[in-house]
Amino acid sequence: MGLLNSLVLGSTKIMPKFVIGRIAAVYVAGNKLRDGLDLVQKLNSKGFSGTLDLLGEEVTNRRQTNRIRDSYCELLDGIANAGIDCNISLKLTALGLKINEDLCWDNLSVVLDKAREYENFVRMDMEDASVTELTLRMCDRAKKYYSKCGTVLQAYMHRTINDIDILDVPHSNIRICKGAYKESENIAYQDYQKIRDNYLECAEKIMDKGIYVGLATHDDWLIESLLDLIKRKKYKPNKYEFQALSGVPIDKRLDSLISEGHKVRYYVPYGPEWYAYSIRRMRENPDIWKDTMKAFFFRTKHRR
């Protein structure tokens, strides 16, 4: 581990909460559901779609997972009542995936039932490699139960190019991203350009299969290459969207995507657990901390 990363890990223990709070505020809409809904409403008015993600701490028991399930149902009610263009993203571990697969399914199926009421879409985020297989399995089960759902593939994983075949089912909808966790070189590419190349190869395979794809990245080179790919494949605008995390300073690029007629979705986290969540993410992958600091210093005061 590099010196800077060690410093990051050490400093999260002593950094005052308000400092972490100021930095997290760049990314997190706020504590309450209303904060998330308001931010997405604002984004909608500028032509962007939204995904709301309720931030959660690691869960250790059934009761916590049930509370999170209920919060996601409230979120879906809130989105419908607000009449906004917004779907949801959730982490299956927050619904109990690491505790018990059946518990996770019981919770997920309740959220899917609620999504069905409003015909909304549910994205299952991809987490670290210890749950890749389980997540794909849960997604497969979920798709058979309610088709408006999908998961995420990470371009840094060696297995991803083959996992596309597993997810190639009717009404498939895949988000592709580089991958946010620290994984070993036995299972994941470490080289920056290799990950980009694999991202493009996977995106091309997904398009060849005619699957709806969420292209999640802030990497300008990659966005440019994806635009070339879309052009070359003549991929229809109703088969893809670009996705970005709210707070990452690439507003100009996203504005130009919108003005060129591409669909763009902002991923907006909210919730009272922002502090524990931010600390956990920084410890999981100190590189994120470096990006966060960059975003913090280079952002204008008025965030989207």
- Identify which of residues 28 and 180 has a Cβ nearer to ligand FAD in the complex: 180
> Shortest distance, CB of residue 63 to ligand FAD, whole angstroms?
25
Task: Tell me, yes or no, if 77 is annotated catalytic.
Answer: no
- Segment (H or E) for 256: helix 251-259
> Shortest distance, CB of residue 40 to ligand FAD, whole angstroms?
13
> Shortest distance, CB of residue 5 to ligand FAD, whole angstroms?
15
Q: State the catalytic residue, choosing from 175, 196, 281, 304.
A: 175
Kindly provide the b/e burial profile for residues 92-112, where b requires at least 16 CB atoms within 10 angstroms of the residue's own CB.
bbbbbbbbeeebbbbbbbbbb
> Shortest distance, CB of residue 266 to ligand FAD, whole angstroms?
8
- Identify which of residues 61 and 190 has a Cβ nearer to ligand FAD in the complex: 190
- Identify which of residues 84 and 216 has a Cβ nearer to ligand FAD in the complex: 216
3-state DSSP helix/strand/coil percent for the chain, to nearest 5? 55, 15, 30
**CB-based contacts of 155: which residues, under 8 Å, 6+ apart?**
176, 177, 178, 179, 189, 195, 196, 198, 199, 202
Task: Tell me, yes or no, if 69 is annotated catalytic.
Answer: no
**Contact (Cβ atoms closer than 8 angstroms) between residue 115 and residue 145:** no
- Identify which of residues 32 and 294 has a Cβ nearer to ligand FAD in the complex: 294
Q: State the catalytic residue, choosing from 123, 125, 281, 304.
A: 125
The count of other CB atoms within 10 Å of the CB of residue 67 is 13
Residue 50 CA to residue 151 CA, distance in Å, equals 16
Tell me which residues touch ligand FAD (CB under 6 A): 125-126, 152, 154, 177-181, 216-219, 243-245, 248, 267, 288, 291-292, 294-295
Residues annotated as catalytic are 125, 175
